[in-house]
Amino acid sequence: MALDPKKQMEIIKSMTAEIISEEELLKKLKKKKQLRIKLGIDPSGPEIHLGFSVVLRKLRQFQELGHTAVIIVGDFTGMIGDPSGVSKTRPKLTKEQVEKNMEQYKKQIFMILDKDKTTFTYNSTWLGALTMYDFIELAAKYTVARILERDDFDQRMKAGQPVYMHEIMYPLCQGYDSVSVEADVELGGTDQKFNLLVGRELMREFKMEPQVVMMLPILEGTDGVRKMSKSYGNYIGITEPAGAMFGKIMSIPDNLIIKYFELTTDLYAHTIEEYRSALEAGTVNPRDIKFELAKAIVRLYHSPSSAERAAADFEKVFTKKQMPMDIKTHMIDAAELSVVDLLVVTGLMKSRGEAKRKIREGAIDIDGVCVSDINHVVRLTKPVIVRAGKHKFLKVVSK
């Protein structure tokens, strides 16, 4: 039996950044038992990270309330490249890249979503079928002035950087997706606000009831500054080995502990509040609370036993009293270099191939943080401790 619409609203509103509008959403819930909740994805890489899990977890919440998830795979828009939040043109994805990435995406998405309540569709189905005449008709429904209000376009133009016509078309294409699937609600991060609102406007232009826009908070990555992103190398993938995941979570700044609890775990609200109060009162070591956070997240994507093993391994290796007392120092004549080059130059690995393999296995740590990205750049503004395997430790210092 479906929950009362007001009860559903209480659940849906939790941990959202903005809803446009709550009144419209409540009306939709009263009018329809099963809403169509749209989420568009442009699979720019094969791995889903905790930042993207925030919106997926909200989508799962809708499913648990009896609604349908409509996943729009941007195989057409991915070949344009979403310009949101970037200072230069995004690389375009080929159809082959999209298909390859989606093979992995689907497996990972269903680690969070209910497969039986999820519909997948590709936006090339309708966007690829539009004629030139259709595109001109679509473009006539939105003004250039409105498009150029976007902060990223405005900043690029002021900086003398180009804004290309295909990028201007991106928000219209994403908005037309909402028209095509008759979305009741569209989910996205706060950085997607402009695109989501275009969908509302286009639905009105097509004489349809506009979708409700629901925006979720942006989750900062392990650096604690920028949003979690594969391009920044500050991400935690949901399919990473348990030990690598645990170590990365332990590396986040203390001020993000509660936000991670709220957005990425299934802990009860009262438990999170207890942690918040203890941290604010200073009655507990933040590291201990972060330890519980790491275990909670690893449990979600692996298992309770994996979480306990990862916790035990982390304690064994990274507690100070367990670290070797006499760690050799290696001087490098460079301010920064890739982790692969670092491992080879220091002699920790015999070849680049071996280095890449060990990185992918989660066997390499830099200052206690597992590095699983072979493109990760190590900056030597201060000495760093490198661990290769269980027993090889080396201090690396820039000359």
Q: What is the DSSP letter of 2?
A: P
Domain-located, residue 19: yes
Beta bridge partners of 398: 332
| pLDDT attached to residue 348 | 92
Amino acid at the residue 380: L
| pLDDT attached to residue 119 | 93
Collapse the DSSP code of 221 into the 3-class scheme (helix H, G, I; strand E, B; otherwise coil) and give the result.
coil
What tokens appear for 317 in the block?
Answer: 């290796």
Shared-domain flag, residues 120 and 265: no
Shared-domain flag, residues 10 and 153: yes
Last residue of a domain, one of 199, 216, 233: 216
CA distance linking residue 8 with residue 137, whole number of Å: 38
Nearest C-alpha neighbor of 134 from the set 164, 173, 184, 84: 173
Task: State pTM to two decimals.
Answer: 0.78
Shared-domain flag, residues 253 and 392: no
| pLDDT attached to residue 37 | 98
Residue 315 maps to which CATH number? Answer: 1.10.240.10
Q: What is the DSSP letter of 192?
A: G
Domain-located, residue 394: yes
Last residue of a domain, one of 160, 182, 216: 216
Domain-located, residue 222: no
Residues of the chain by 3-state class (helix, strand, coil), percent to 5: 50, 15, 35
Shared-domain flag, residues 139 and 203: yes
Domain-located, residue 155: yes
Give the domain range for residue 378. Answer: 329-398
CA distance linking residue 123 with residue 35, whole number of Å: 20
Domain-located, residue 224: no
CA distance linking residue 37 with residue 206, whole number of Å: 19
Shared-domain flag, residues 284 and 360: no
**Residues sharing a CB contact under 8 Å with residue 57, sequence separation 6 or more, in sequence order:** 112, 263, 264
Domain-located, residue 225: no
CA distance linking residue 127 with residue 76, whole number of Å: 7
Shared-domain flag, residues 261 and 195: no
| pLDDT attached to residue 157 | 84
Domain-located, residue 226: no
Shared-domain flag, residues 156 and 280: no
CA distance linking residue 285 with residue 292, whole number of Å: 12
- Count how many domains the chain has: 3
CA distance linking residue 273 with residue 264, whole number of Å: 15
Shared-domain flag, residues 284 and 353: no
Q: What is the mean pLDDT of each run of 10 residues along the chain (399 residues)?
A: 87 95 96 95 81 96 96 83 53 74 86 94 93 92 83 82 83 94 96 92 95 97 88 87 90 94 95 96 93 97 94 75 68 90 92 90 83 88 84 84
Domain-located, residue 230: no
Shared-domain flag, residues 302 and 184: no
Residue 374 maps to which CATH number? Answer: 3.10.290.10
| pLDDT attached to residue 72 | 94
Shared-domain flag, residues 279 and 255: yes
**β 336-338/377-379 pair status:** antiparallel
Last residue of a domain, one of 322, 349, 364: 322
Beta bridge partners of 20: 213
Residue 187 maps to which CATH number? Answer: 3.40.50.620
Shared-domain flag, residues 34 and 170: yes
| pLDDT attached to residue 87 | 46
What tokens appear for 348 in the block?
Answer: 């920790």
Shared-domain flag, residues 166 and 285: no
